[in-house]
Amino acid sequence: MRDDHTTGTDPDAATLGRIETEIALLMRLGEATRRATGTAEHRVLDRAAYVILRHLDKAGPQNVSALAARLNLDGSTVTRQVSAMQRDGLIARTPDPADGRGTVISPTPAGLQRMAAVRAARTRLYGDILADWTGDDRDTLANLLHRLNEALDARNRRR
């Protein structure tokens, strides 16, 4: 297969070109799979709400600024998302104990329940997709994706 992203015979450049192509395809196919999945469980949360709830579940209550910084998003974007999530009963705002003028965001039981439903549905979906993979291959993929996400996160934090 010809790789249009590289010139010459530099094997590292060819490999990086393949990685770029595979990540672009992964993003496109991941979104297409999400849209095409017929179960309602996948649609009980939009992508932004799912990511915010997953982070809050792991890290605990956060103010909007900390949440925006951690997710590499603009504060106004997170504020809009959080407001919509509050209207939907997915998160609650409480006074910030460190700064009485601010608030912290935490997931509600309903938000956690929806997040868990989406996570379970996605886990089942990937279980089906990767059914023919060995346990070792699945573990390798999980470890490599984790390393990639850590590297991407570290790069974004340096900016």
For 39-92, what is each residue's pLDDT tens digit? 666 667 888 899 999 999 999 999 999 999 888 888 888 999 999 999 999 999
| Residue with token string 């060819």 | 14
- Give the pTM: 0.80
Which of 19-23, 33-37, 98-102 is the least confident region?
33-37
Residue 2 confidence (pLDDT) above 80:
no
Structure tokens belonging to residue 58: 């792991």
* d(C-alpha 146, C-alpha 50), whole Å: 18
Would you say 103 and 63 are in contact if contact means Cβ atoms under 8 Å apart?
yes
Q: Using 50, 70 and 90 to split pLDDT, how confident is the model at 96?
A: confident
* d(C-alpha 26, C-alpha 142), whole Å: 14
Report DSSP letters for the chain, one per residue.
---TT--TT-HHHHHHHHHHHHHHHHHHHHHHHHHH---GGGGSS-HHHHHHHHHHHHH--B-HHHHHHHHT--HHHHHHHHHHHHHTTSEEEEEETTEEEEEEEEE-HHHHHHHHHHHHHHHHHHHHHTTTS-HHHHHHHHHHHHHHHHHHHHHHHH-
Would you say 122 and 44 are in contact if contact means Cβ atoms under 8 Å apart?
no
Q: Which residues touch 120 (CB under 8 Å, ≥6 apart)?
A: 41
pLDDT in the model for residue 135: 97
